[in-house]
Amino acid sequence: MKNRCVIVGGARINNYDFVKNHIKEDDFIIYCDGGLSHLEGLGGSVDLIIGDFDSHDNPNMDKETIVLPTVKDDTDTVYAVKEAVKRGFRDFVMVGVIGGRFDHTLGNLSMLLYLDNLGAKAMLVDDYSEITLLSAKDGAHSECRVKDDCKYFSIICAEKKASGITIRNAKYEVEDFEMTNDTPIGVSNEVIKNKEAVIEIREGKIFVIKVVSE
């Protein structure tokens, strides 16, 4: 079985080279309805197609296809995430899911929380950034590192409160800091050249956004 699932949504992709760098040959790739417009740009590999085909015609390819009703609770992308979870995947990259309709963007961002609650990990990738979730509970320590190959990095509280946040090797450093979701104080930090920024958290969830270019 392939270990990682890539889900392709229908949001616009302009920088195919950057996005393709996040896809491996052995990934299991799901295209969601309008995401099929990216099939050629991303290299043509597909393992599963899912959608109600209100945004793109069913290509009727010789690939497994799940046709959804147009009236349903989950978007095509959310259905794809849940289907992949059912198939045992716990590592995800989602592309073509940010931009365009803001409601879809927020809905797709919530998939980081959904997957984290299942003990899975995920990254959302757009034309110039990577978004992940860092979480900790019951006082356990969690951390991630950001290399100096990015232009900026930001952290945003994903719940009402996140505490025990420490940032080192960055232009703006904090120690045992508390963030709330109504104050975006963590936007546009920078990694110190030739170092890795270390982000730690003791309680709560934060989005970590690595901005590679503008």
Architecture in CATH for domain 5-127: 3-Layer(aba) Sandwich (3.40)
Share of the chain above pLDDT 70, in %: 99
3-state secondary structure of 104: helix
Burial (Cβ within 10 Å: 0-12, 13-18, ≥19) of residue 194: exposed
Asked whether the domain spanning 132-211 has the same topology as the one spanning 5-127, the reply is yes
List the chain domain ranges: 5-127, 132-211
pLDDT score of 44: 84
Read off the pLDDT of residues 125-138 as tens digits, 9 standing for 90 and up: 999 999 999 999 88
Nearest C-alpha neighbor of 110 from the set 137, 86, 133 = 133
Mean pLDDT, residues 149-167? 96
Read off the pLDDT of residues 5-59 as tens digits, 9 standing for 90 and up: 999 999 999 999 999 999 999 999 999 999 999 999 999 899 999 999 988 988 9
Max Cα–Cα distance, the chain, nearest Å: 55
CA 209 to chain centre: 9
Q: For domain 132-211, give the CATH superfamily.
A: Thiamin pyrophosphokinase, catalytic domain (3.40.50.10240)
Residue 174's DSSP bridge partners are: 167
pLDDT score of 138: 81
Name the average pLDDT for the chain: 95
pTM, whole model, 2 decimals? 0.93
Share of the chain above pLDDT 90, in %: 90
Mean pLDDT, residues 145-149? 94
